[in-house]
Structure 1
Amino acid sequence: MRNALLFILMLLSACDQQPTLERLGGPTMGSSYSIQYVRNPGGPAPDQVREAVETILHGIDAYYSTYRDDSVVSRFNQLPANQCLTIPQDMLELVTFGQHLADVSEGAFDLSVEPLLNLWGFGPQARQEQVPDPQALALARQRVGYRHLHIDGERLCKDVALELDFNSIAAGHAVDLIAERLRAMGIDSFVAEATGELQAAGRKPDGSPWRIALELPREDRQIARQVIAIDGLSVSTSGDYRNYFEDNGRRYSHIFDARLGRPVAHGLAAVTVLDRSALIADGYSTLLLILGPERGWDFAVAHGIAAVLVTRVEGGFVSRSTPGFQRVLKGG
């Protein structure tokens, strides 16, 4: 009897030492976040992970939310022309990356699109979704342009009364910060996701890989087009099907070409990018979507970007993967 009891206690103890899969999530940035991670014996409990993750997300909101008057970006946006604001190093790094994307896309990607977003009905100060009056559009375009923005030490300065919008890269940046924090807590197997941007590392408790479903856009819903196994990679998908309106039979999405002052008007519906950095994947998925099916494809191939481009055609969609995408999936 004693031996049997000892055996049962040993068995229960062994079970307690097995890794477990933990899940948590909540609202963030007008959408949601979710974390799955493998908790090893003695590893951090979900409440500890939740506190660490939400501290990061609250910081992102305090820096980059244009829906908060007291955020850093809102305080910068409220400044008149020829003014500067001392900003955190975190924001300086994101501005630098955004300016790089603007440079390589010849101004198609631009962090200063906020006046256009508001005018067309997609921004925090928008009244309604509408095609704007040409005169109003011309006035708004005078306040847009990445060359009117520059960094002076720890200060961010503007030559005109431009307004910034970081929605194209802030979520990817948040995922990178969360992944870094998870690793610092001793968690090396996880999927961290915020507003659809995600990063995965390691494996599940049973040793199987994390599998991510890539979206295929449809007019009524999104469905899984391809399921891929990833480890140490981030995935970002940008699409024109998530936020748009129609006017006189034409479709206007929230994806803007800053050079033209209006939503893109080509057939590229969605772009997925893989990269080790969620920030880089987030930024380039938006940039390629802005450039369109031909220029986006050429840019992705020329720069070795691992991407899938999904284009509208009569009767449905056609997708094609860059050589970089195939190489990454094969572990190259």
Structure 2
Amino acid sequence: MHVALGSCKRSLLLGGLVLLGIFYVLITQPRIKQFEGKTMGTTYHVSYVGAVFFDSSDDISKKVHEVLHDVDLRMSTYREDSELMQFNRAPLTTAFKVSSDIVDLVKQSQRISAMSDGAYDVTVGPLVNLWGFGPSGHGSEEKSLGRLSEIDSIGVKAQGFDEWMLKNYPAKVPPQAAIDEVRQWVGYQYVVVDSDNSTLMRNKPVFVDLSSIAKGYGVDKVAQVLNENNIANFMIEVGGEVRVNGLKSDGSQWRLAIRGPNLTREHSPKIVTLGNKALATSGDYLNFFEVDGRRYAHTINPLTGYPEVSDLAEVAVISETAAEADALATMFMVLGEQRGLDLANREGIAAYFTYRSGNGFDSVASKSFQLYLVN
């Protein structure tokens, strides 16, 4: 029997091409890649869609860690050498050069402060520390109550807020005199922003703390890293603040559950799809203390100097950026459920409020938020 050699070669070549095609499909099949780490006193998790064998997750993980470390170096109030702490120690009425990132965040925070009539304020830190919700915890005379770099008029020198506070006001609930004194050194309007020259200036010895917006900003910086590396489908979470883009590996949308303070069969998590947006939550049910039957939560109203008392237990906000969602969630916790809902509907903000009621907890969504609800 005679077999044409050319025909065999063509068959082998065709078979090889088929196998090569199958192998290429297999190794480029999208899969979920994941990595995690620690940053800014919390944890982060990144999930993205990548090929099975063409895996650059180690390189991506390194870049993400570096960018989050850079955010911490710039904006931490726990690090004395951070860029933000250097500004807080700078002489008053003197323009201090900072990165464009910090300028942008302070400008954004001041826009939200103005929108809320001062309910949101990144200079509220001294009051937070006064109430014991600062870096060292709350409610204990044995624990220090945070740090403040310079408020000479109330006896606080460069050595910090801890020693002065413990010596003069060791109780869990500070006296009115202390609240009144510290309040006069709180006010976002005392920080002057010069975008053209990338400088900040303090007209009073206020203390700028970007913790209510920095984690969200870290999420946005990670999203930037992924986009720059041609990763279009991802979910990022830093300390509970989330941002998603694109689709999962099976082509479905990323879904998130808003769990809230009361998980029962009657109060199942709300499921949302974000599209290419971010979600942040803030609540008062995890960080609080009680004195004489009264509950004091960590959300301080800068206008009164006291922890905000309202029925609002948690709020979730969806926005274009995680930084904005982060700040808005804090703002709504100060405003409370009704004022917050009114503002959200007026400004077109997607917000979901969980509040205490006679039945335990109820919830209400702003008009914009309802567009994202699955259930």
TM-score, normalising length from structure 1? 0.91
CA RMSD, Structure 1 to Structure 2 (Å) = 2.4
* One-letter amino acid of the structure 1 residue matched with residue 364 of structure 2: R
| Residue equivalent to 1:63 | 74
Matched, 1:245 2:256: no
2:300 matches 1:256: yes
2:189 is matched with which residue? 147
Query: CA separation in 1, counterparts of 2:268 and 2:281?
Result: 12
CA distance in 2, matches of 1:162, 1:43: 50
SS of the equivalent of 2:260 reads: strand
For residue 255 of structure 2, what is the amino acid of its counterpart?
R
Matches of 1:263 and 1:88, distance apart in 2: 32
Alpha-carbon distance in structure 1 between the residues aligned to 2:54 and 2:70: 25
Q: Of 221, 225, 229, which aligns to 1:181?
A: 225
Q: Which residue of the partner structure matches residue 208 of structure 1?
A: 252
1:277-325: CA deviation from partner (whole Å, max 9, x where unpaired): 1122112111111101111010000001111111111241110111111
Q: Distance in 2 between matches of 1:81 and 1:17?
A: 57
SS in 1 for 2:220: helix
C-alpha contact (below 8 Å) 1:76/1:163 kept by paired residues: no
Tell me, in whole angstroms, the C-alpha distance in 1 between the residues paired with 2:83 and 2:305.
25
Residue-by-residue CA offset, 1:106-160 (whole Å, 9 max, x unaligned): 1111010111111111123672582112222222112101121112432211121
Q: Assess if the C-alpha contact under 8 Å between 2:316 and 2:353 holds in 1.
A: yes
Measured after TM superposition, the shift of residue 219 of structure 1 is 9.8
* Pick aligned residue for 1:111 from 122, 136, 155: 122
- The count of corresponding residues between Structure 1 and Structure 2 is 327
Q: Deviations over 1:192-248 (max 9, x none)?
A: 11111111111111112211111211499xx86212233211111111123222222
Conservation of the 8 A alpha-carbon contact between 2:240 and 2:280: yes
Residue identity opposite 1:133 in structure 2: P
Whichever residue aligns with residue 139 of structure 1, its letter is E
Aligned residues of 1:272 and 1:309 also touching (Cα < 8 A): yes
What is the CA-CA distance between 1:44 and the residue it aligns to?
Answer: 5.4
Q: Matches of residues 52-131 of structure 1 in structure 2 within 5 Å?
A: 52-124=63-135, 127-128=144-145, 130-131=172-173
Higher strand proportion (structure 1 or 2): 1
Query: The residue matched to 1:193 in structure 2 has which SS?
Result: strand
2:274–2:318 contact (8 Å) kept in structure 1: no
**Greater displacement, 90-99 / 38-47:** 38-47
Secondary structure at 2:204 match in 1: coil
Gaps of 5+ in 1: none
Matched residue, 1:289: 333
Deviates more, 1:274-283 or 1:119-128: 119-128
Residues 162-204 of structure 1 deviation map (CA, whole Å, 9 limit, x = unaligned): 1111111111111111112111101011001111111111111
User: Following the alignment from structure 1 to structure 2, what is the Cα–Cα distance between the partners of residues 181 and 224?
Assistant: 35
Moved more, 257-266 or 225-234: 225-234
CA contact (8 A) 2:261 2:285 kept: yes
Identity score, percent: 35
SS in 2 for 1:263: coil
2:112 corresponds to which letter in structure 1? L
The residue aligned with 1:275 is 319
> AA paired with 1:118?
N
How does 1:184-203 map onto structure 2 within 5 Å? 184-203=228-247
Task: State the match for 1:132 in structure 2.
Answer: 174
- Mean Cα displacement is larger for which, 211-220 or 310-319? 211-220
Q: Is the 8 A contact 2:97 2:200 kept in 1?
A: yes
Q: What is the one-letter code of the residue matched to 1:145?
A: G
- Change in 2 beyond 3 A, CA 1:168/1:18: same
Which among 31, 55, 60 is matched to residue 42 of structure 2? 31
2:344 maps to a residue whose letter is: A
TM-score w.r.t. length of structure 2 = 0.81
Aligned to 2:209: 165
In the superposition, relative to structure 1, how do residues 247 and 219 fare at CA in structure 2: closer, same or farther (>3 Å)?
A: farther
The match for 1:265 is: 309
User: 1:273, 1:240 → 2: CA distance?
Assistant: 15
- For structure 1, which segment, 173-182 or 78-87, has the greater mean C-alpha deviation from structure 2 after superposition? 78-87
Query: Contact (CA 8 Å) 2:270, 2:373: kept in 1 or not?
Result: no
